[in-house]
Structure 1
Amino acid sequence: MSFLSASWPASWSRVILTLLLALAAALLCVWLRTPIPWMIGPLLATALASALGARTDSWNPFRNAGQCAIGAALGLYFTPAVGALVISLWWSIALGVAWALLLGMACGAWLRRVHAGHLNQLTPAQLRSTTYYAGAIGAASEMTLLAERRGARTDLVAASHSLRVLLVTVTIPFALQSWGVTGVDIFVAGLREVHLAGFALLMGFCALGAWVVHRLGRPNPWFMGALLVATVITLCGVSLSAMPQAVSNAAQLVIAVSLGVRFTPAFMHTAPRWLASVAVATFAMMGLCAAFGWVLAQLAGLHPATMVLGTSPGGIAEMAITAKVLQLGVPVVTVFQVCRLVAVLVLVEPLFRWRYERQ
């Protein structure tokens, strides 16, 4: 939904109170010196309040604007030199894509085996499609839509992706901070000074690009469109402005709120056994991805923390934000996550047909 045409929320009071709760949680995390405080704090506070029955609310245009700002901020890292380096890593990106597809299929097969005797109301075909799309490492909305076409339990598919992103977003930043690898990024944005006129022009171009991608019906348009425009501008050697830190913090907050409000009491009561198995699978995937990322880092000559983030099974915006705040190979992480998202969206349906329909 466009942030230009979306209707106003039914209750501004719920939206404002939710944002105030998120702001208080962010400030608390800043004081506690937690990793990515402007995302971790709002995400946990909003998710907890929502799960306890509080009437939290998020307005989609806020989330869209936040994704646009984050996409623009990440695009500023893609200087010509960085672009050449990323292109030279094409083989590792291809390996990362293949790894994500295989891991998603393995996760889906494991979920099907675990729940074959518990989801008795589903036909074998429905169980197959539900577990397959629940295990795929893709965007929640797109995987749910594809699963719906196959007659799957869409509530279980959506729940699995929401829980996976939450667990990865909360776990990995703390693990990296404990590892002591923050601030080892060799990449810096093309311009570090904020110029108000240049910033306004940059965001205008990025908003226009996001709107075009949205009109074309592409996934994650407000992030992807802004990222594409900012990347092209930076690759051309044009420096308009850096991203103000306050804007970046606000963007992280509204993105976290939009994820946290999904964890309603109804969500928490959605097949507890299913959620427990998804949590187990998520932690297993994080461990396997960390090992794969470490091996890939040795082959590519990059810092292991960068590749751990690049191959992690989290959401693209959340992992890119983590890389930016912790200063861990921002452009490499962004490209790995973007390529994986695109590949999964394109290939997950043909792989389903190849794997099951030929039988």
Structure 2
Amino acid sequence: MIRTKGFLRNVSFILFSSIGGLLLSLTGLSIGWMLGTLVMAGAFSFWSHTNSTSSDDKYVLPRFWMNAGQFILAIELGQKINLTVIDIFRDHWMSIMTMLLLSIVFSLLSGLVLWKFSHTDLLTSLFGTVPGGLSVIPGIAEEVGGNIGVVSIIQTMRVFLVVLVIPFLVSSFAVHSAKLEVSNNQSAFIFPSLEMDEMIWTAVLALGALAGYYIGKRLKFPAPWLVGGMLGAASIQAAGSSFAGHNLTPWWPNILIIAAQVFIAASIGSKFHKKMFTGLGKTMAVALFSTIGLILSLFICAFIVSKLTGITFVTAVLAFAPGGITEMATTAAVLHEDSTFVVVVQVLRIVLVCIAVPPLIKLLHQRRLRNRAHSHAARNI
């Protein structure tokens, strides 16, 4: 009885929070479900935590829902590593790796600027600026000790700046075209026709993601449901497609990725409370300027890469953009640029960020703590 009551409370909270996602999705914004649900859940949680007098009244969505969302997201990302991605990476691996490494380096530098000139800790600053996606990074940040509320807000601001500024600078009409196309093509309630081979392949990818989770958990990956699951699904997708000689396609209706966004956003929002946002005004001001600096630096890098490799400047800018896969790919298609190349670089960036960046940030944080401990011990001698 108690379990049933708790489950119904969780479902009610998720459904209530998803109203915000539904409303914002009507604007055509690709992250509308994620962002709207996050705002609704965060506002309700902030209000309830502020007005509750007992710690028992402070509701937080159980970890199961975050794990479920990350598991779906892992399959979504893993299935994108198909023969097309492998072929493009093989042909342009030097350009792609240069773009990925430079974008990560500049994002980490942006995080260091945020840390130096605001009240946020190092972990939160670095995870706030790293270009891994609003649905990906906050969950990882929480597991390694970052402030999930501040990370979510900074990530949201970064995505908005990237989505609004870069297409506008590349082409004045691309923003409107991108929003219209995304709105028409991503109905939550259109299901692809059921094919037995696609259903079987979906089950195979799910088993691969589950195996990846257990391996990732044993190897102590951050967010093993996401990182381990993604690696497992990607390995199965790449191996299966290579063996078959063509890209294998799972049955994957859009409502699944919407459910993942809602689960993750509701889980993050349920943890919001007043103490998370102490001194947030200065943090947001510094984050705004550091994000603008990040975008400008990536424009410069895109120009250099385009000159060295022969890739057009517009394609390089859209591939370099730290966020907004759907908007960048649609803008590339509207301008008759290489949209496939843009998608490949963007997907590989998220994969690389999920795998490599969390351990690197954790290592930097631990090194800083050790240096602080040594200096403190030296002063006491």
Q: Please name the residue that 1:167 is paired with.
A: 157
What is the aligned counterpart of 1:178 among 150, 162, 175?
175
Match in the other structure for 1:226: 229
1:94 aligns with 2:98: yes
Please show how residues 41-56 of structure 1 align to structure 2 within 5 Å. Answer: 41-53=36-48
User: Aligned with 2:251: secondary structure?
Assistant: coil
1:77 aligns with 2:75: no
Match 1:250 to one of 255, 259, 262 = 259
Asked if 1:134 is matched to 2:142, the reply is: no
**Of 347, 352, 359, which residue of structure 2 is paired with 1:339?**
352
Inter-CA distance 13–285: structure 2 relative to 1 (3 Å threshold): farther
Q: Deviations over 1:183-231 (max 9, x none)?
A: 69xxxxxxx7653343223212212212221222112322222222222
Aligned equivalents of 1:27, 1:95: Cα separation in 2:
35
Hey, what does 1:28 align to over in structure 2? 23
What's the CA shift for 1:60? 1.9
CA distance in 1, matches of 2:302, 2:178: 13
Q: Answer yes or no: is 1:275 the counterpart of 2:283.
A: yes
Percent of aligned pairs with the same residue? 17
The residue type paired with residue 311 of structure 2 is G
The range that moved more, 319-328 or 160-169, is: 319-328
Q: Which residue of 1 aligns with 2:55?
A: none
CA distance in 1, matches of 2:160, 2:25: 15
Structure 2: which amino acid aligns with 1:258? S
Gaps of 5+ in 1: 1-7, 120-126, 149-153, 185-191
2:283 corresponds to 1:265: no
Q: Once the two structures are superposed, what CA deviation does each residue of 1:17-55 show, in whole Å capped at 9, x if it has no partner?
A: 321123222322343433333222212222333333466
8 Å CA contact 1:19, 1:257 repeated in 2: yes
Structure 2 residue 104 is the aligned partner of structure 1 residue 108: no
CA distance in 1, matches of 2:10, 2:316: 35
Between the aligned partners of 2:312 and 2:80, the Cα distance in structure 1 is 17
- The SS at the match of 2:226 is helix
CA–CA separation in structure 1 for the residues paired with 2:159 and 2:59: 20
Q: Contact 1:306 / 1:333 at 8 angstroms: preserved in 2?
A: no
Equivalent-residue separation in structure 2 for 1:249 and 1:85 (angstroms): 28
In the other structure, the counterpart of 1:68 is: 71
Deviation at 1:73, TM superposition (A): 2.0
Contact 1:23–1:253 under 8 Å retained in 2: yes
Say whether 1:301 aligns with 2:311: yes
**Per the alignment, in what secondary structure is the counterpart of residue 104 of structure 2?**
helix
Structure 1, 294-303 or 195-204: larger mean CA deviation = 294-303
Q: 1:200 aligns with which of 197, 200, 203?
A: 203
Separation (CA, whole Å) in 2 of partners of 1:75 and 1:296: 31
Within 2, Cα distance between the matches of 1:83 and 1:342?
A: 18
Please say which structure displays the higher CA radius of gyration. 2
3-state SS of paired residue (1:167): helix
Residues 293, 311 of structure 1: 8 Å contact kept? no
Aligned match of 1:122? none
What is the identity, as a one-letter code, of the residue corresponding to 1:334? V
SS in 2 for 1:57: coil
Q: 1:210 to 1:169 in 2, by over 3 A?
A: farther
Amino acid at match of 1:93: M
Q: Distance in 2 between matches of 1:255 and 1:145?
A: 14
Whether the 8 Å CA contact 2:318–2:329 is kept in 1: the answer is: no
1:219-275 deviation line (CA, Å, top 9, x unaligned): 23222222222222222315262322221221121122223334322223x223443
Q: Structure 1 residues 170 and 95, CA, compared in 2 at 3 Å: closer, same or farther?
A: closer
* Aligned equivalents of 1:40, 1:349: Cα separation in 2: 27
Deviation of 1:98 after TM superposition, in Å, equals 3.8
Are 2:59 and 2:270, in contact at CA under 8 Å, matched by a contact in 1? yes
How far residue 320 of structure 1 moved from its aligned partner, in angstroms, is 6.1
In structure 2, the partner of 1:284 is: 292
Q: CA RMSD in A?
A: 4.2
Number of aligned positions between the proteins: 317
Which structure has more helix as a fraction of its residues? 2
Q: Which residue of 2 aligns with 1:40?
A: 35
AA aligned opposite 2:251: A
Deviation, 1:103, is 4.3
Segment of structure 1 superposing worse, 292-301 or 322-331: 322-331
1:4 counterpart residue number? none
2:189 is aligned to none
2:108 maps to amino acid: G
